[in-house]
Structure 1
Amino acid sequence: MNNRLLKLAQAAPYLAAMHEARSFTKAADLMNVHQTAVSHRIRAIEDLIGVQLFERTTRTLTFTTAGEILCAAAHANITDLEAALLRVQAKKRSSTIRVSVPPSLAMKWIVPLLTMAKTAGLDISVQAQTRLVDFARDDADVGIRYGLGPYPGLRTIRLSRSYMQPLASPAYIEANGIDLAKPWAKPIDILMDHTTESDPIPFGWAEFKASEPAFTQKIEPISLFDRTDLALQAATGGLGVALGRTLLYENDVKMGYLVPLGEPKPVEPSDWLVTSYEFAETQKFKDFTRWITEQVERTICLETRS
């Protein structure tokens, strides 16, 4: 920042007060200083930039175009700064843990756990987002990412090893005469989350076919979806067979809505808990990490017992 901009920044509170008060006397009252302090600071800025900010007479004060522009800009910046300070202070005082998760994971796993979180004394705010959260700019404390990890510049914890699992409803299995001992003996109706198929992360029907020699049919989906939870919901409704992954399908299997076809296949990507190094040192993060790790273990154990 050059010297002129630094002096202008230092004068910003005076310019902002002038924007709000529209007079030297009232601006001085707002700042709790003498009127001459305001007029001297404004005169110094005019001399600095070589532009007159106000037309002065013995009775009136009129803003020039330059005065309107600079005073309005100073007022906007100080207002933004005050709002940002309030957000920082509120964030520091708040007990809420803001968690950014993919929409599928939010709907199929995190949201059903919120009651348990409250019982454990955690106040969790869920932000369902497809984009990767930027902890330096976004209002999130932690995130859960599905990928290869770890993520440079962030504190990362792998929550579990991940598996892919084809699933269908009991009604679909019965209607199509699927033998659970040989589920790939006849063609199935494939339900596909096309975003996972196009994503560079190795997960999808192509990866499943490569890992399952008995699955020989051509991959031609009857329906495409842009989220895995939607494909799983379609499978629950009896439309066909969807490919689920760890943490997204266990509860549906437990409730009897979906039935696994064949054995789950391990995949490279996993669910990772991520946060900034700064937030990783807080007790809130440690409490959340302990709780979310317990929920992952509990979910996977429930699926194993089902």
Structure 2
Amino acid sequence: MTTPIYLNALRAFEAAARHHSFSAAAAELHVTSAAVGQQVRTLEAWLGISLFNRASSGSVRLVPTDVARAALPDIREGLERLRTGLERLKEGSMNSGLTVTVSPAFAAKWLLPRIERFQLMHPQMDVLLDTNLRPLDFITEGMDIGVRYGTGRWPGLTAIKLMDEEMYPVCAPSYPLLQAGRLSARNLAQATLIHDLSMTGEPSYPTWRSWLDAAGYPEVSAEHGLRINNSAAVLQAVIDGQGVALGRSVMLRDDLAAGRLLRPFGAVSCPLGFAYYIVHRPEVAGLTKIQAFRDWLLAEAADG
């Protein structure tokens, strides 16, 4: 006897268990809540067991039963393997789309000025660029590949170092406190310090206070200034002459080369324990589109 495969029902059950809600699962699967409920009931009827215990006190929160909770890891792995298999089937002609996740700052300052070269190399591939400040779940968000900034350790993802970088102060060439392209200690104390808050959650990430102490300016206060939570916006504020910021070398490269920014302390910089990494799920490493975009990123970084 052939065993029926309730694929849609398994997808509905997995999504409902993850969200603890039929309605949230329905939104993810682009169906109605009633349809998700019916799929789950169909699966329960075929199995002859209940998959959810509804919480008491009138709550509609779905709580998987013990046996359902024990089966979920295998079901999730199976669904993900099916998804990967379908991706492999679509890879034959490179006509499938490529979803790429990067931060807004990295997109604006590094990727977008270069992405046309990739599209000229692979005109048949549609690239969907997702710029997001928060790290995305590659499975639930449907991401193929991305670039993340950090220490290189993200559970469930393969990380390949793309670029190291260092940090140093920058300002606009027209900044009024400059003298022959340099900032004296006296003028630095009067300058508006622009603080990048995008890495606030990383205690080891350099701040103005740590840079001033390391560079020999412990008397300069780092308490004042302008605070912005986006690295690209920080650099734009600097280009507009609003102050001096600690910039990251990868983000600064094009603006320094074009003369929109300069380094008022010369070669003084501090290395970072962070870098840019190409990230993707291990099981998609062999896909043609993943290899193509990964190799292109590495070549671009090597070219400077």
TM-score (normalizing by structure 2): 0.64
Question: Which residue identity does 1:98 align to in structure 2?
Answer: T
Which of 70, 89, 92 does residue 90 from structure 2 map onto? 92
Structure 2 CA distance for partners of 1:176 and 1:133, relative to 1, 3 Å:
same
Query: Residues 160 and 7 of structure 1: is their aligned pair in 2 closer, same or farther, counting only changes over 3 Å?
Result: closer
Asked whether the equivalents of residues 201 and 269 of structure 1 are also in contact (C-alpha less than 8 Å), the reply is no
CA distance 1:150–1:198, shift in 2 (3 Å) = closer
Match of 1:144 among 143, 147, 172: 147
CA distance in 2, matches of 1:164, 1:254: 16
> CA offsets per residue over residues 172-205 of structure 1, 9 Å max, x none?
0xx2133545654522210112232454352332
1:244 to 2:247 alignment: yes
1:205 equivalent in structure 2: 208
Who is 1:288 aligned against?
293
Query: SS at the partner of 1:112?
Result: coil
CA-to-partner distance for each residue in 1:84-120, whole Å, 9 max, x for gaps?
98xx569935443221011111111111112122223
CA distance in 1: counterparts of 2:165 and 2:199, whole angstroms: 14
Specify whether residues 209 and 96 from structure 1 end up closer, same or farther in structure 2 by C-alpha distance, changes over 3 A only: farther
CA distance in 1 between partners of 2:88 and 2:224 (Å): 48
- For the 8 Å contact 2:173–2:181, the answer to whether it is kept is no
Gap change, CA 1:178 and 1:92, over 3 Å in 2: farther
CA contact (8 A) 2:178 2:264 kept: no
Q: Which amino acid aligns with 1:290?
A: D
Q: Give the letter for the 2:106 counterpart.
A: L
1:9-31 Cα deviation digits (max 9, x unpaired): 69x8xxxxxxxxxxxxxxxxxxx
Gap change, CA 1:282 and 1:201, over 3 Å in 2: farther
Match of 2:233 among 226, 230, 233: 230
- Counterparts of 1:35-184 in structure 2, within 5 Å, are 92-93=90-91, 94-121=95-122, 123=125, 124-172=127-175, 175-180=176-181, 183-184=184-185
Counterpart residue number, 2:53: none
* Contact kept? 1:154, 1:277, Cα under 8 Å: yes
User: Which residue identity lines up with residue 194 of structure 1 in the other structure?
Assistant: L
Q: Does 1:266 align with 2:264?
A: no
Shift of 1:275: 0.6
For 1:99, what is the secondary structure of its paired residue?
strand
Pick from 188, 192, 197 the counterpart of residue 195 of structure 2.
Answer: 192
- Inter-partner Cα distance in structure 2 for 1:205 and 1:91: 51
What number of residue pairs does the alignment pair up? Answer: 226
What amino acid is the match of 1:205? Answer: W
- 2:236 and 2:89 map into 1 onto residues whose CA distance is 36
**Distance in 1, Cα, partners of 2:270 & 2:148:** 20
Query: 1 CA distance for matches of 2:87 and 2:122?
Result: 22
Give the letter aligned to residue 150 of structure 1: R
For structure 1, which segment, 236-245 or 220-229, has the greater mean C-alpha deviation from structure 2 after superposition? 220-229
Deviations 1:33-74 (A, max 9, x none): xxxxxxxxx9xx7xx99xxxxxxxxxxxxxxxxxxxxxxxxx
Counting aligned pairs with the same residue, the percent is: 24
Q: Distance in 1 between matches of 2:283 and 2:89?
A: 13
Q: Distance in 1 between matches of 2:182 and 2:212?
A: 18
1:140 partner amino acid? M
Q: What does residue 220 of structure 1 align with? A: 223
Q: Return the TM-score normalized by structure 1.
A: 0.64
Please say if residues 247 and 296 of structure 1, whose CA atoms lie closer than 8 Å, have aligned partners that are also in contact: no
CA shift in 2, pair 1:216/1:157, >3 Å: farther
For residues 118 and 219 of structure 2, what CA distance do their matches in structure 1 show?
Answer: 43
Residues 101, 128 of structure 1: 8 Å contact kept: yes
Q: Secondary structure at the match of 1:139?
A: coil
